[in-house]
Structure formats: C-alpha cells, structure tokens
Amino acid sequence: MYMREGDHVLVEVSNELPDKNITIHWHGIKQVRTGWADGPGYVTQCPMKPGTSYTYNFTVTGQRGTLWWHGHNNWMRYTVYGAIVILPKKDTPYPFPKPDGEIPLVLGEWWKGSMDVVLQQLARSGGAPNNSDAYTINGQPGDLYPCSRAEKVVIPVKSGKTYMLRIAGATMNGEMFLSVAGHKLTVVEVDASYTKPLEVDYVLVMPGQSMNVLLKADQTVGNYYLEVRPYIAPNVSLDNSTATAVIAYEGSHPHATPALPTTLPAITDSASANAFSKSLRSLASKDFPAMVPLQIDRHLMFTIGLAIRPCSNCTLGGRLSGVFNNISLELPKTALLQAHYFRKPNVYVTNFPDNPTSSFNYTGKPPSKIMAKGGTRLSYLPFNSNVQLVLQSTAIVAPENHPIHLHGTNFFVVGMGLGNYNASSDPLSFNLIDPPERNTIGVPLGGWVALRFQANNPGIWFMHCHLEFHTSVGLATAFVIENGPNPEDRLIPPPLDLPPC
C-alpha cells in the first residue's frame, strides 16, 4: 500500500469472510484526531461483521517511511497484513542519496493449522501457543526449509547499485535478527522516522517494528542469502528455524548456492539484540528535528511481564496472563473510544496505577504469590502533558524481551538499561538530544526502557506487547487523552459507518 506524506487516505474495507469479524490497524500511523480509524478491536471500534464494510479515513501527518497494516482483533493478523510505504512529499528528497531500487520485505510467521486450530490449542493449554512452523519473507520461508525449495524470494541486484530494503516486522511472536551474507547494512529509518545512518552487520526487527536499510551491491558477482532468524530469550521455546531470500547479482548463475551470513547473532544473544536497539539515533537535523519533551508533567513507571491469574475450572490453578503493573487488561464488549466520546459510564475507569503496586527487586527472585488481577483500568493524560514512561521488565514467569507498541503517537527512547531502573541515577545519562523516535520498542529482558512523548493527540490509545500471544492474554492498557481547548485540538466525531457494537 503506497501513500505520500500529507495524503488524505480513505480505505474501504469489506469483510468478505464467511464467519469472522475483523478490524484493520494502520500500525504506526499517528492518526492525529482520527482515533476512529486506528482499528484495535474494542478499543477504537467494534469489529466489522461478515458482509459489512467500514471506510478508514485518516491523513498521513508528519511521517514518511515504512510501516505496515494488520488485522487487530483475535489473532487476525495471523494472515491479514501488508506493508505501508509512505513516500516523502513531492519534490522532497530523502536525507540520503536516492537508492537505485526499493524492495519491501514483510517478515511473517506461519502455522500448518488455521488460526482457529492455534487458538483452540492455546485455550486448552492455559499456557503458551504452539510454535509456528515457519518464518516467512514476503510469504515464503525460503529454500532452507525442505518443503519450499522452489518458492523462494529472489531479489535481483546490479553490481555497484544501492537498494533500500523496506522491512516490516509482521511476525506474530518472533523477534527477528536479519543479515545479508558478505554485506553491510545501513539503517536510515526506523518506524517511519529518519535515523542517523548506522552501518551494521545485522538488524533486529521485533513484531511491530519496521525500518529502511540500505544494501550496497558491492561484493563479487554471485548469490547471497538474506537470512532471518529469531532472537529468543534463554528458556523460551520458539521455532528457531531460518527463513531466507536470495540476493542475486546480475550475471551470477541463477542456481549458484548462496553462502550463509556469518554475522547473524546467535539465537539467545541478548547482548547483540540490546546493542542494536541502543545504537540507533534519530536524524535530529534542521528539517527533521527531534522534539523530545524536556519538562515532564507525568512520571509513570509500569512493570511488564507475565503472571498467573486465578481462574475457576482451569487445570493449573491459574491462567498465564500478561500484565502491566500486575493488571491484565479486560476488553469491554463495546469500544472504549465510543464509551469515552459518548460518556457512557461503567465501561472503564481511569485509575491505572502510575507506579508498580508492590515494589521488589524486579530482576531477581520474585516474591511468592504474585497473582495478576484483571480490569479495564486506563491511564488519564491531560491534553499536551509531557509524559515519561519507564517500562521495567519483571521475570515473574518467563524472562523475555517484550516489544511494546503505543498507538496514536510516537515516543522517544531516551534511555535503556539492564537491571532495576534507578530513578535518581539513570536519568543522568538519558539521551535528550537525538534519541530514536519509534512506535514499538523492546524492553530488554531483565531491564528497562525510558520513553518520552507529548500527549497531544486526543482519544484512546492502546499500548500493548506486540507478541500476539501476550496481547491476547492481556498484556495491554490504554491512555485516555482528553480534548484540548481549541476546536483543532479535539477528536473528530465518529464516522457514520463506524461498525455498531
């Protein structure tokens, strides 16, 4: 899907599925004042029923680069997803030499069974879903999988030319390392925000993240593997196989066996995962300044992890749940944004705790009997308030890196570290000059990230772990941002074709 910065976009979506509801989310589009077009089910809209349609109506404001779209209810992004390319405004060049070609690469994940089969297994187990059976690049797993030798993605290149890979992380639960054998990669943009050019051997693309990477065809004419493999925290079981595409130089033998990259980090290499995330800097140029909030109005700290939630009739005496501050989000039967707009009572409360409900050493041995609570508790943010949000990983159940995605605005990643966040010393080393601007950030396993953003987009904005499994077990909350004083600071009224609840 192609659009241009500044475009007014209308996408009419018709649900032609015989038996499933759906919503579509335009992941990373800021949706300034147009929360109705954001798409998360039961957050900004109720899902479209079979045979109905809805027109998503939004303007691409102040962003250009690669993003993606996906189904956003009940694991629907399992198969429903694609790339969004936002070109710069007409006659506005990239802040780097124009590449000779651009190649969208959407990273996905595939199971042999249907979505229903995976969800049934998940419900039965009360724990984790089965591992996927393959990772994919533009729908193909590549020829290292025995089943699919013929159906591989081939990327033709010419010697001496530079190509921009537009990479979208649409995997369900896999956080992917990507590299190209024998070649360096230069990151120039993440989550549709320009970065200072960063030359690397590999990149890390978590579910929800996207990036533009320059690849120069500067090696001996031949075939080279582009390889994608997950980063998996120790003790977490995931499919650890490898998806490939082939970079094929003009003049090389089409069947020449490519070499494997030697630069791809090991599967459990947290240090390499964190090092990549930490080395990104926003471009912070005159044309693309980094508007980092300096005076903070709201200091928030949320712990993030998995916990056990008591349940009746369940085998393990509890169900695995995802929690921020020990609260697992329960979505209502109506949409939160409709309840907000029409002031419908008893749908949600705005008393989400600003800080962890019990403090302990988050990275050490957890206290016993920490049971998660359910609720529809949201955080209230006054219009234009400057927010600092620290996300602290806990290791109550499984030590993992969680990719946290915020809807409706980007944030600046001003700090990142291992261990417990220290509110008096860690801020001293925050980057307030050129931190990367993103919509999804991995919270390091046993560590923390500090994010800053201005709450200037009125509406209700979902924040969740973009591991689909974790979203589905409640690792989510939402921010309520009130209207500002002027007409141009208000959420627009709901469109007439908004799906009824």
Contact 126, 197 (CB under 8 A): no
Is residue 36 within 8 Å of 495, Cβ to Cβ? yes
Considering only CA atoms, which of 131, 141, 223, 121 is closest in space to residue 172?
A: 131
Using CB under 6 A, count the residues that bind ligand C2O: 11
Identity at 2, one-letter amino acid code:
Y
Nearer to ligand C2O, 183 or 438 (CB): 438
Closest CB to ligand C2O among residues 450, 476: 476
Of 483, 494, 436, nearest to 457 by C-alpha is 483
Gyration radius of the chain's alpha carbons: 22
Q: Is 469 in the site for ligand C2O (CB under 6 A)?
A: no
25 binds ligand C2O (CB under 6 A): yes
28 vs 67: CA distance, rounded Å:
6
Which of 15, 24, 27, 86 binds ligand C2O (CB under 6 A)? It is 27
Site for ligand C2O contains 436 (CB under 6 A) = no
Q: Quote the CA–CA distance of 461 and 387 in Å, as a whole number.
A: 14
Query: What is the distance between the alpha carbons of residues 230 and 466, in angstroms, rounded to a whole number?
Result: 15
- Does residue 438 belong to the site contacting ligand C2O (CB under 6 A)? no
Near ligand C2O by CB under 6 A: residue from 441, 464, 474, 491: 464
Q: To the nearest whole angstrom, how small is the minimum distance from the Cβ of residue 221 to ligand C2O?
A: 39
User: Taking CB under 6 A as the rule, does residue 70 contact ligand C2O?
Assistant: yes
Q: Does 402 bind ligand C2O (CB under 6 A)?
A: no
Distances (CA, A) of 446 to 93, 247, 354, 382, 403: 41, 37, 20, 31, 13
Residue 362 or 462 with smaller CB distance to ligand C2O = 462
Element (H, E) at 125: helix 115-125
CA 301 to CA 310: how far, in whole Å? 25
- What is the largest distance, in Å, between two alpha-carbon atoms of the chain? 67
Residue (70 or 229) nearer to ligand C2O, CB = 70
Segment near ligand C2O (CB under 6 A), from 225-233, 254-262, 282-290, 461-469?
461-469
- Residue 152: CB minimum distance to ligand C2O, A: 27
CB contact at 8 A, 305 and 323: yes
Indicate whether 462 belongs to the interface with ligand C2O (CB under 6 A).
yes
470 binds ligand C2O (CB under 6 A): no
Question: Binding mask 347-386 vs ligand C2O (x if CB under 6 A, - otherwise)?
Answer: ----------------------------------------
Task: Check residue 72 for interaction with ligand C2O (CB under 6 A).
Answer: yes
Q: How many CB atoms lie within 10 A of CB 202?
A: 21
476 in Cβ contact with 346 (< 8 Å): no
Binding mask 184-223 for ligand C2O (x = CB under 6 A): ------------------------x---------------
Nearer Cβ to ligand C2O, position 166 or 405?
A: 405
Binder among 30, 152, 377, 405 for ligand C2O (CB under 6 A)? 405
Q: Which residues bind ligand C2O (CB under 6 A)?
A: 25, 27, 40, 70, 72, 208, 405, 407, 462, 464, 466
